[in-house]
Amino acid sequence: MQKKKILFICGSLNQTSMMHQISLYMQDFDCYFTPYYTDGFVNYLVSIGYIKFSILNGQFRTKTEDYLRQNNLKIDYRGVSHDYDLIYTCADLIMPKNIRKKKVILVQEGMTDPETIMFHLVKYLKLPRWLASTSTMGMSDQFTLFCVASEGYKDFFISKKGVKPEKIIVTGIPNFDNLQQFAKSDFPHKNFVLVATSDARETYKLENRKKFIQECVKIAGGKQLIFKLHPNEKVDRATQEINTFAPGALVFSSGNINHMIANCDILITKFSSVVYVGILFGKEVHSAFKIDELKKLLPIQNNGTSAERIAQIGKHLLESTDVKLAEIHRKFDLITA
């Protein structure tokens, strides 16, 4: 009997590693992987070398392809080689035409972008969701189920994004469901102030980096400042700015930021999901979001079992001819489990 086929749509390395972890529990099926992709005019722009700041192109796609090859995963770019029985994806900003009539499981990647004026334009004028980036996560309604990090996030996506309650299920999410594993850190520095920067400018958002650095210096109050740059940032530019406005600060463009957080006294960030690591470790945290709200959204810590639970949901869908969402909730939702 021919194995059923599953397509995992990847994106950033975080998204790709999530998809890989889920696939490890789907060994009885024929699993394929693809970098994130799209159709139409946006795909044309990608094909001629544009949109390199996004997961569709540039270093994000290159790193994903490298990861897939290094882990000997089967690649089916754009999912065109097979008729798939199930799709997993970490983003619904763009839903390619060839998956829209399939069983699709959307998996939350992490924190969503703030709701700017563009979010409201997209929402009320029905503009393409990708114009507002991850602030529109879950708003496509082109998925069978949406697996989220916590009960707080379930409420968030229902109330803020309009996701149908019956389509959203609390599973926890890979990479954020066992943060305690990072408590043992070999990072050489201790008792410092860690700043996790963003790639806002590289993705054409507004950021006053000078003002931000100066605020970090003020918060540090003389403590050692360490900046961990976002992987998508222009390293030379960011380093020069930090050296100018925060002389004596250390700058890292690579390294395990979770281990850095474990050793810091204070964590400063704006829109990064790493804020949850700082909250869990009881650090003093500074964020563009309200800390009390972030605590409500904190991903469930289930000792790293989210990937297996999400895979079990996929197996259930594959075995079902008639999808009964209430039954899936009874079996797999961590709120009622």
Which helix H or strand E contains 242, and what residues bound it? helix 235-245
Percent of the chain whose pLDDT exceeds 70: 99
pLDDT score recorded for residue 323? 82
d(CA 217, CA 186): 25
Q: Which helix (H) or strand (E) holds 196?
A: strand 193-196
The answer, yes or no, to whether residue 116 has pLDDT greater than 60, is: yes
| Mean pLDDT of the chain, nearest integer | 94
Of 277, 225, 288, 271, the C-alpha closest to 252 is 225
Angstrom distance (rounded) from CA 124 to CA 240: 41
Cα 166 to Cα 158: distance, rounded to the nearest angstrom = 10
Q: Strand, helix or coil at 92?
A: coil
pLDDT at 1 over 80: no
Please say if the pLDDT value at position 279 is more than 50.
yes
| AA letter at 312 | Q
pTM of the entire predicted model: 0.92
**Higher-confidence position of 49 and 219:** 219
CA distance 86 to 80: 14
What is d(CA 255, CA 249) in angstroms, rounded to the nearest whole number? 16
In this prediction, residues 258-277 reach a mean pLDDT of 95
Query: Are the beta carbons of 109 and 276 closer than 8 angstroms?
Result: no
pLDDT value, residue 202: 83
- Is 64's pLDDT higher than 70? yes
pLDDT at position 51: 83
Which residue type, as a one-letter code, is found at position 270? K
CB atoms inside a 10 Å sphere around CB 29: 18
**192-206, 278-292, 307-321, range with the lowest pLDDT:** 192-206
Residue 337 has pLDDT above 50, yes or no: no
> Going from the N-terminus, what domains does the chain have, and what CATH number goes with each?
5-177+300-332 (3.40.50), 179-297 (3.40.50.2000)
Question: Which token pair is 5?
Answer: 């086929």
Q: What's the CA gap between 53 and 13, in Å, rounded? A: 14
Distance CA 135, CA 138 (A): 9
